[in-house]
Structure 1
């Protein structure tokens, strides 16, 4: 028995320090006798409190200490019914078969003072996970937040090696406390996976083909253009009444003249099947040069100008042909002028008419031995600028013979009705 009346002292241990605090610092909390009274509970009053009882016994002072932890909770006026935050009711999850599936259920469970029961769980086909015999299913709960006793918890349903038959299972997430109960059902559907391997291979093949086509176009664009013209190009002979495909203009008594007569004319007529007009060969003796030149140029679809240092000198035949061709282009006719550079020529020595028209004219360069073959870039580039020709081999042979006869007769002055080879061709057919 105590020899004196025991004294009771309360202490509060601040969370930031390890030192007890007394007397109390707030008017809403006070000690009355052996009791500690908190009139208005606040957040800062939470923590660890110590009760120290001191008394005398047989001349000795004895201390008896007990501790109590005080936590704040929401008042009863706040709803205490539990709820499921996620998933929503009838939520559809997309899953992959033969993989691990994690389904997360988050619930809010308020604290009820009379009965602190708090539960969150999954059921599979009406059974809890612990009741299932299938070891592929497991459940793990974890605390997310604790807000004055109202806890938010996650319950994760883990399904290992998900099988197609699991899509038809009934999966429910439930929460419960002393005040209520809530459950949400979730649905599963199989994820439609994109064929990544096939898609990647297809994309890679497409890129390779595009790169290959780009390289092919850069290397063979002339061949592709000629092929396109041969299929879809329009034969200009059916659209106009021109007599010649090409009129060749060149500087007389020069090296270029030999190139025109032995190479250019021969290939255009004999190999490519074009009707070629050369003034010195096809003009009638005794005619007016100016009138016949203008007539020949007007009856031609292309004017082929072989550029040389002495070309188109003042008062020359070539200058007259060049002016007639440029005027024909300017007037919007079907005549087009093509420049052929047999040897490198500085542009400063070109005549004024040629320099002005160079911007709108195509220039094809002869590159010596590299251009002799019919498959060379020179002849392909020239064919792109020349009219499209579609004739059979029989028609080509007949036209070549008629042009040859026309050339022979015009040089001997015996030209009559053979001046128009198309008429003879039609009569021959």
Structure 2
């Protein structure tokens, strides 16, 4: 008896190598809703125990409850196979089986089945694909992983959701890979069951890389004339950026500089001694490399508005130029003359000048917000943007970021949207799942006026870092968006963040101080509103509507009195 109780697990171990492809023993399996799928245990276990009669029973565990699986028209118990015709979202859970001969039971390890939603915009789900990176020039074979144990099927191959030639085989063979062979390959398996047609799909992202360095043309981003808005007496930084190629390519030879022989490098000493200098730095955005040459003008003068600032790129090809011109921008929310007039008048009154200066420094943000409220100014009208801000935060399932998720999904929108009338774009809340994540992030950032980045010690993840790099590129290079950094928790290691983050002004960083920052009139929300687009708050809108309603009622009352 003791020997018989040990032989079943032993045979399971021996049969794993020959049946692993057909009956995978993975702990976690992803399957798309609406597709045929099956679970099974190795057939050699049953075949090697023919002297005894063994029965198999399947169980499903979900939310702590274990239920016996009964056969239905959709869930079919076919020997050692548990078949789904098709899989539904409700099938999510953990599955086990018990193999029994009436005396001894053997229970397998759990399968954790995760049922994914189908994409409405694509023939595959980006979370349901495998990636293969291969070198160009070599032969390679793609195998369809969706073929079931029933071989009586029809197979159709797609590349980037378009039908790929006329092959109906389980494998695609490439005698010699090229860069053009890169793409998403989807095999669609059609299966007949009970008079109905069912499908099972498998998608492989094939990336073909050339070992040789890719020849890339160095070029200045947005060549030609660029107008930069500024104010007299303010500082301005002109950014000349060059695309250098890709990360796997050798560093090219080039010379990038501003045409001015009097320029020196922007060191700490030169910044204090001269009014204009230049500084160069390199940065990466995804797999692309860039170089930027910054021209720092400490104080803009009236005559500077008539000058051309030219950036020159010299390579082995024809030199390229980029010309910057300065122009006066719109006056700030609170005009400097308001402070100047107040100070001149206060000279004649004892200590009033000192008091005004101190108050204007301490309550600068409050004054600007008060000015916006009383004027009802709204700069968002007609700018073509849909959202006031795109919110980027850590989205990975890390147990230590529960409070951070609550802040991003509840506290932040409750105050900015419900109380102050802003419209936020939160990817996890507002974007329907199933699309291409990279394209969605780019699109929604382009539709937003600000990019709010919630930085914490857990912020580092692939998606969050991509959103950060995209926002920095649009802010520093394309100048299409302004970034607001919320320091939610103290970050222990800044080295993992992009170096270009240091170029952002320190005044655009807002620190969260837990309970102290919760009230809507706290310093945190005031600083955040100060950095957000100029927009009338909900309280002002309600006050304006109430005033109009009151005037209408009064006019109506007057008309009744006059007998109109």
TM-score band, normalised by shorter chain = 0.3 to 0.5
Q: What TM-score results when the alignment is normalised by the length of structure 2?
A: 0.32
